Amino acid sequence: MSQLTIKQPQNTDVMGHEKLHQYLTFLVGNENLAINILDVKEIIEINTITRVPMTPQYIKGVINLRGNVVPVIDLSARLGRECSEVTKRTCIVLVQVEHNDESQLLGMLVDAVDEILDLPEANILPPPDFGADIRNDFIQAMGRVGDDFIILLNINRVLSVKELSQLKQITDYEISNSGSAT
């Protein structure tokens, strides 16, 4: 996998006086999205994904990650779009989602990882009230990069408590029916 670049704002005065926030940017379809870098545990290449019967379309399946069963979410399908086509650049972004003192490691299937983006607080704006083709509760904020905007996803909303319980059931089902993931 190629090296990630870190893109910093061009205005060096802003960097000296304002706290920067880092985001991992990635492509889903033709759209550039981002999540807080602190939510990212690891980025891995696609290997074998085992489909689990009777799961929502956005749950691609499970992978074996060093002996652990990890559910993989097709982020494109989760956002209400077509399922992702797997290419050479497709990868899995592993994230840790927390709820009620429990954590779940999840894989998000994305079309390509782009870069690590440093954004000053002044360039992080509230999400729009309307007009986005992504559910508003999935959007944490908008990041201004030059004249463009990038959607900063709220990973805990994209993978809500309801979905987490479904993922736990999938993991338990896979373990009980196969003894281990393939």
In this structure, the strands spanning 20-28 and 112-120 are: antiparallel
Are 75 and 108 spatial neighbours (Cβ–Cβ below 8 Å)? Answer: yes
Kind of pairing, strands 59-65 and 40-45?
A: unpaired
Among candidate residues 166, 178, 140, the one with its CA nearest the CA of residue 71: 166
Provide the residue type at 102 as one letter: E
What average pLDDT is seen over the chain? 82
Q: How confident is the model at residue 150 (pLDDT cuts 50, 70, 90)?
A: very high
The more confident residue out of 180 and 109 is: 109
Give residue 27's pLDDT.
Answer: 94
pLDDT on residue 162: 62
β-pairing verdict for 139-145 and 124-125: antiparallel
Mean pLDDT computed over 56-61: 87
Q: In this prediction, what percent of the chain has a pLDDT beyond 70?
A: 76
* pLDDT tens digits for range 61-115: 999 999 999 999 999 999 888 988 899 999 999 998 876 777 888 999 999 999 9
12 band by pLDDT with thresholds 50, 70 and 90? very low
Query: Could you identify the residue written with the tokens 């050479």?
Result: 88
Confidence at residue 131, expressed as pLDDT on a 0 to 100 scale: 60
Residue 8 has pLDDT above 70, yes or no: no
- The pLDDT assigned to 173 comes to 66
Q: Which has more confidence, 5 or 38?
A: 38
Kindly report the three-state secondary structure assignment for every residue of the chain. CCCCEEECCCCHHHHHHCCEEEEEEEEECCEEEEEEHHHEEEEEECCCCECCCCCCCCEEEEEEECCEEEEEEEHHHHCCCCCCCCCCCCEEEEEEEEECCEEEEEEEEECEEEEEEEEEHHHEECCCCCCCCCCHHHEEEEEEECCEEEEEECHHHHCCHHHHHHHHHHHHHHHHHHCCCC
How far does the chain reach from its first CA to its final CA, in angstroms? Answer: 23
- Distance separating alpha carbons of residues 18 and 16, to the nearest angstrom: 6
Whether residue 13 has pLDDT greater than 50: no
pTM score of the predicted model? 0.78
